[in-house]
Amino acid sequence: MAFNCQLALSALLLLAPSMASAQQKTDLDFLANMDEFHNIRKMLPARLTQEVNDRLRQRAEAIARISTLDALAARRKLVRATILDSIGGLPERTPLNARVTGTLDRGDYKIEKIVFESQPRFFVTASLYLPKKGSPPYPAILFPLGHEPGGKSHSAWQQVLGSLARRGYVAFAWDPLGQEERTQFFDPDWNDSKLFASTVEHTELGAQCMLVGDALARYTIWDGIRALDYLLSRPEVDATRVGATGNSGGGTLTTYLSALDDRIQVAAPSCYINSWRVLLDTLGPQDAEQVFPGWLKNGMDFPDFIYSFAPKPFLVLSAIRDFFPIGGARETFAEAHGVYESLGVPDKLQKVEADDGHGYSRPRRQAAYRWFGRWLKSEDDHGGEQDVPAASSEELWATPTGQVSTSFHGEDVFSLNLKRYATVKSNRPALSLAKVRDLAAFAPASGGLNIETYGALPRSGYRIEKLMYQSEPGTLIPAVIYVPETHAARSPAIICADGEGKQASREAAELLVRKGNIVMSIDARGLGETRPALDTHNQFFTYFADHDDAETAILLGKTLVGMRAADIARGIDLLSARSDVDSSNISGIGKGAAAVAMLHAAALDPRIKKLVLEEMPVSYDAIVTHRIHRQMFEQIVPSALKFYDLPDLANSLAPRPVWMINTVNPLGQVLPPAEVRAVYGRAQIHVTRGEGFSRPVNNVLDEIFK
């Protein structure tokens, strides 16, 4: 259900008296006991979900007009252009340099071990399953793999591939990024990835790709297209009879490839097709491979992949007890089937649901065999499936060491992205704040703030006012304002945004209010008390913090950076309207996860006259040029490095002064001031450290605001 701002404000107002008394005990977190009435921790995802649903309602009007082949062709053109624009286009087609590195005889079929280059020296390891019975050319099945451990050696995939070969298909599978022989973060000491899983690798790399204007899917899709190039180069294959199927991540790539490559005639993705409306209400967005920047903003949803393939035969394979909600698969199928019916080919879009869980289980496999038999062989395939003995991982290695990185020392996504970045950086235009505003989707609301107050806490020499303001409809920002007892008619003001919330900035605020400043500490959306309830044991949290909301925002063409910067700008509106504030003397302090947002706010709002940035990432450049980053995903602005970096924003503030305290590298480690100065350089940017007992941060702040 969408968040109702007015109801929330009313509820808070009714509860204010009891909250005021409770606040004396619970300190500044005055919403601590409010969950039963107003779960503010769900505010950010609820607001994003509301925007998703608004976009999907607008999309429905366009889909209703698809009833002819011409209308379908127009939609296909739009979908393909949207995909390619979202992922940064596709690489140049270069020689595959394919070679067979070994063969396994499996009795009634054989497996060839293949290595090819989807891009120069970007090696792909694969298995080609060749029938021994019948006469070539055979129909062929492209089989992208899911995210289960083991890549092409996973027993479930061998079961499908061997069964297809026994049925007279040439089947081709390749190791996805981050799996089996293509670990992107391989550590020879661990003899495994430095990270937890292939999906973590995907999103770690995905953030770096997004910063230069691409998406990780650019690489996985191109691997698939080049795999199809190789498959069709084989004389055993009938290029007029090609299907594609895969489960989970393999279902994802089956869907992508079918939407983009006309050489695929029949598709059967398993455990992927869903709907964004249902998915975001339940499971949330997945790894970066499955998130196209701006996809929802541009009016796209899961059925659009099918429309880009239509009216060819497409089979939706789903699991009723999958962790991916079955309701989403049913919703997408119902919409797309209506289009197929209007085109007079309802039999070419079908679905099969198995009452089981996630995976390419026997019921779905049998359904896929029947589907391919019908459309690629013009025959009914109701035969049973015999067990396929699984080869070991080592038996299927196409490389000498079991890793392309140690066998061939070629490219990986990180190195290829660095080359993309070098080109982007060399062509970066002069800084345009209008472009920054557009990329970050910085769009502060205007008009009334709908402020609700909750009393004040008396302190020695100052008071703490408690309030909430509406940054935009559906977004409430908790804030506390420290006001000195004796001050000038109009005092200088400071707005503080801390990644840990307003409670974390209390000590600094108390220091600054005693110096005669009016200090407002806010919980920008998704921070402090508005932080969504995150599973801190989840592997995605370890590396990416609030991954789900950041990815959802990116799907909508928004960023958490831009939204939080807008919350800061609205806070400045509030301060500027106060009779006791000197609106010409407002400073900003941003710390941790709020620092990048504060920098964007200052660059785009000249009312911030002085800026302090504590524990901010040194640059977007560093995130791209350092192999591993942590807790940075919330801070990125897709395509930023095509147009600007964080030092550019800081330098744009001249002659306004900027202080940088305890600036960090992409792992969150504090950098020596000399390294930071080398990146920034401008005289008005003061770099310092504030660690330890000899020079704590508050001493630095005392000097800045003396």
| DSSP assignment of 241-259 | EEEEEEETHHHHHHHHHHH
> Can you tell me the distance from the alpha carbon of 32 to that of 504, in angstroms, rounded to the nearest whole number?
15
> Can you tell me the distance from the alpha carbon of 543 to that of 540, in angstroms, rounded to the nearest whole number?
6
Could you give the residue ranges of the DSSP H alpha helices within 427-491? 433-440
Q: Residue 450 is encoded by which pair of tokens? A: 């709908």
Nearest to 591 by CA among 693, 491, 680, 659: 659
**CATH code for the part of the protein at 437-704:** 3.40.50.1820
- Judge contact between 554 and 563, C-beta under 8 A: no
Upper half-sphere CA count for residue 94 (Cβ side, 13 Å): 14
Residue 29 has what pLDDT? 63
For the CA atoms of 230, 234, 236, 240, the dihedral, rounded to the nearest 10 degrees, stands at 60
Please state, in angstroms and as integers, the Cα–Cα distance from residue 598 to each residue in 95, 442, 605, 639, following that order.
47, 12, 10, 19
Nearest to 482 by CA among 469, 465, 494, 499: 465
Residue 19 has what pLDDT? 30
Beta partners for residue 496, in sequence order: 521, 589
- Judge contact between 67 and 308, C-beta under 8 A: no
> Can you tell me the distance from the alpha carbon of 655 to that of 611, in angstroms, rounded to the nearest whole number?
11
- Judge contact between 591 and 498, C-beta under 8 A: yes
DSSP notation for 296-363: TTTT--THHHHHHHTTS-EEEEEETT-SS-HHHHHHHHHHHHHHHHHTT-GGGEEEEEESS-SS--HH
> Can you tell me the distance from the alpha carbon of 212 to that of 204, in angstroms, rounded to the nearest whole number?
14
Phi, psi of 617 (to 5 degrees): -55, 140
Query: Quick count: other Cβ atoms within 10 Å of Cβ 364?
Result: 24
Q: Residue 646 is encoded by which pair of tokens? A: 């964080």
Nearest to 173 by CA among 191, 194, 149, 157: 157
- Judge contact between 554 and 293, C-beta under 8 A: yes
Using DSSP, state whether 197 is helix, strand or coil: coil
Nearest to 575 by CA among 701, 410, 449, 401: 449
- Tell me the pairing of strands 658-661 and 581-591: unpaired
Residue 438 has what pLDDT? 98
Beta partners for residue 522, in sequence order: 479, 497
- First CA to last CA distance, the chain: 48
Nearest to 660 by CA among 644, 675, 676, 674: 676
Using DSSP, state whether 452 is helix, strand or coil: strand
Q: Residue 412 is encoded by which pair of tokens? A: 């990986």
Cβ-proximal residues to 289 (8 Å cutoff; 6+ apart), any chain: 177, 199, 202, 206, 215, 216, 217, 220, 249, 252
Residue 538 has what pLDDT? 67
DSSP E strand stretches across 9-137: 99-105, 109-119, 122-131
> Can you tell me the distance from the alpha carbon of 554 to that of 87, in angstroms, rounded to the nearest whole number?
12
CATH, domain 69-423, list 3.40.50.1820, 3.20.20.410, 3.40.50.720, 2.40.10.120: 3.40.50.1820
- Tell me the pairing of strands 186-187 and 192-193: antiparallel
DSSP E strand stretches across 422-474: 452-459, 462-472
DSSP E strand stretches across 5-79: none
Residue 535 has what pLDDT? 67
List the chain residues with pLDDT less than 70: 1-38, 535-539, 683, 692-695
Beta partners for residue 518, in sequence order: 493
Nearest to 291 by CA among 553, 562, 630, 79: 553
> Can you tell me the distance from the alpha carbon of 77 to that of 222, in angstroms, rounded to the nearest whole number?
19
Residue 533 has what pLDDT? 81
Cβ-proximal residues to 597 (8 Å cutoff; 6+ apart), any chain: 497, 524, 560, 561, 562, 564, 565, 567, 568, 590
What percent of the chain shows pLDDT beyond 70?
93
> Can you tell me the distance from the alpha carbon of 495 to that of 568, in angstroms, rounded to the nearest whole number?
8
Please state, in angstroms and as integers, the Cα–Cα distance from residue 134 to each residue in 83, 169, 182, following that order.
39, 10, 34
- Judge contact between 627 and 579, C-beta under 8 A: no
> Can you tell me the distance from the alpha carbon of 588 to that of 572, in angstroms, rounded to the nearest whole number?
9
> Can you tell me the distance from the alpha carbon of 125 to that of 287, in angstroms, rounded to the nearest whole number?
22
What's the length of the chain?
706
Nearest to 86 by CA among 336, 288, 261: 288
> Can you tell me the distance from the alpha carbon of 53 to that of 59, in angstroms, rounded to the nearest whole number?
10
Q: Residue 606 is encoded by which pair of tokens? A: 């000249």
Q: What's the 3-state SS for 609-645? A: EEEEEECCECCHHHHHHCCCCCCCHHHCCCCHHHCCC
Cβ-proximal residues to 483 (8 Å cutoff; 6+ apart), any chain: 462, 463, 464, 465, 513, 518, 580
Are 69-423 and 437-704 the same fold in CATH?
A: yes
Residue 541 has what pLDDT? 72
Q: Residue 513 is encoded by which pair of tokens? A: 């209010």
List the domain boundaries for the chain. Answer: 69-423, 437-704
Beta partners for residue 269, in sequence order: 246
